[in-house]
Amino acid sequence: MAAVALQRRQCDAGGQPVPVVRRSIHGRILALRGAAGENAPMARPTHAFSLPGVANLHSHAFQRAMAGLAERQTDPKDSFWTWRETMYRMAARFDPDTLYAVAAQLYAEMLEAGYTRVCEFHYLHHAPDGTPYDDPAAMSRALVRAARDTGIRMTLLPVLYMSGGFDGRPLGERQRRFGHDVDGFLRLLETLRGEEDAMLRVGCALHSLRAVPADAMRAVVAALPPDMPLHIHIAEQIGEVQDCLALRGARPVEWLLANAEVDARWTLVHATHLEPAEVTGIARSGATVAICPTTEANLGDGLFPLRDYLAAGGAFGIGSDSQVSVSPVEELRWLEYGQRLSTRRRNIAVGADSSSVGETLLHAVQASSARATGFDPGGEVLLLDEDAPQLTGATPEDLQDRWIFSGNRNLVREVHVNGELVVSEGRHRDRDAIAARYRQALVKLL
């Protein structure tokens, strides 16, 4: 997936015009010309410092408001399960207005960092006491409005959340706003699907095997269109694996592969704790794994077995998840660095077609993007800052490695989504107004 140099208009192998970035002598973009004319959506980047946009396959937007607020030890055995208590307290404070403000801030940050599409794993459905809003889709629509206003492509994933554990216990008091029965959930999906357009896709999310009984999972999956993206949290925690073994007689991924027709429309989020047969089983199924390295590190989850998964030919992407970091560079860098630390070797994520770690990682996340998000490839381009010292002398062969492994300065200068310039000179077009609303929302939430 090497970047290509600025070129005259030409046709691809199928005879279709290749979009061209036309720039001034000072390097500024003058126009994006695609098959449909000036300012048509870009099908692929054509400038030497351009790359395709990156898909964020797993996001909980509301958690941006609590980033940095769960970093004090409350238990000598602090873990995901103690962090979850802090998350529940924050989740109970949101309404549609504050969710919109926080999501808009997050999505603007994503665009500035190089994310151009986001899969929003959304379970704050109702009022805090579990009462549906007058508009049952009010919270979903707040997220859609935030995505539209900022200019990021969204795959909205309403989450089915029914039980508090593998034993089928009812949802706890702080989980009530998450809950649906099967019929109500399917009605929500159908309502939201009617709003799809070039910037919005609607998929389906099952929160986890512990939160969705087996019969409900089967009923929902059977009712979905065959091409609808389908995401699920799975095997993130050792405790989850142990509970699944005790109550369902199999490990989570093992159980899912045996009890569902897992295929390319499925995205398994985290899938951290796997046995070798599960690694090969996911790869053979065609499913995508959404790996969230900064969140998994923050929560002490563990390391995904990337080297074995790559050897099996598995598909993967990345996600910002809890929003402790909003940077595809950091997710990709730590995906590789985690493997280096565990193996005490370098340059782990390479494939048969490339010895470049950066190229391998970026090619992988591009290859999985369409199936996980439901959007066709293309239409999104990043232009990196060719004046940045880190990119001095960059070539198409080393640009990806330089972007990921050259430090923490944001090198994204311009971002185009669906033909719209949404980031210029590193700033989102509405950064100041969005940030002002975010600050007002945090005053209410904290």
Per the CB < 8 A criterion, the answer to whether 19 and 43 are in contact is yes
Neighbours of 27 (CB within 10 A): 13
Per the CB < 8 A criterion, the answer to whether 140 and 156 are in contact is yes
Closest to 94 in 3D by CA, of 64, 62, 118: 62
Within its chain, how far is the Cα of 324 from the centroid? 13
pLDDT at 70: 84
pLDDT at 11: 36
**Using CA atoms in the order 28, 4, 381, 30, what is the torsion angle rounded to 10 degrees?**
20
**CA atoms of 327 and 408, how far apart (whole Å):** 10
Per the CB < 8 A criterion, the answer to whether 150 and 428 are in contact is yes
**CA atoms of 228 and 219, how far apart (whole Å):** 15
Catalytic residue among 58, 233, 270, 428: 270
pLDDT at 82: 84
Active site residue 270: yes
Which pair of structure tokens corresponds to residue 316? 């993967």
DSSP bridge partners of 63: none
**CA atoms of 41 and 34, how far apart (whole Å):** 6
Q: Residue 206 region, left (φ>0) first, then alpha (ψ -120 to 50), else beta?
A: beta
Q: What angle do CA 81, 319, 374 make, to 5 degrees?
A: 125
Question: pLDDT (tens digit, 0 to 9) for every residue of the chain, 446 residues total?
Answer: 444 333 323 333 333 334 445 443 334 444 455 444 444 444 445 556 999 999 999 999 999 999 999 888 888 888 887 888 889 999 999 999 999 999 999 999 999 999 999 999 999 999 999 999 999 999 999 999 999 999 999 999 999 999 999 999 999 999 999 999 999 999 999 999 999 999 999 999 999 999 999 999 999 999 999 999 999 999 999 999 999 999 999 999 999 999 999 999 999 999 999 999 999 999 999 999 999 999 999 999 999 999 999 999 999 999 999 999 999 999 999 999 999 999 999 999 998 889 999 999 999 999 999 999 999 998 999 999 999 999 999 999 999 999 999 999 999 999 999 999 999 999 999 999 999 999 999 999 99
Alpha-carbon radius of gyration of the chain: 21
Per the CB < 8 A criterion, the answer to whether 190 and 153 are in contact is no
Which pair of structure tokens corresponds to residue 439? 């600050």
**CA atoms of 326 and 320, how far apart (whole Å):** 6
Which pair of structure tokens corresponds to residue 32? 């994006």
Per the CB < 8 A criterion, the answer to whether 363 and 1 are in contact is yes
The domain made up of 50-432 is a member of CATH 3.20.20.70:
no
Neighbours of 201 (CB within 10 A): 21
Per the CB < 8 A criterion, the answer to whether 295 and 321 are in contact is yes
Catalytic residue among 60, 122, 125, 321: 321
Closest to 395 in 3D by CA, of 365, 352, 350, 358: 358
Helices 328-343 and 357-373 sit at what angle, rounded to 10 degrees?
Answer: 120
Active site residue 321: yes
What DSSP string describes 183-243? Answer: HHHHHHHHHHHTT-BTTEEE-EEE--TTTS-HHHHHHHHHHS-TTS-EEEEES-SHHHHHH
pLDDT at 48: 60
β-pairing verdict for 266-270 and 37-38:
unpaired
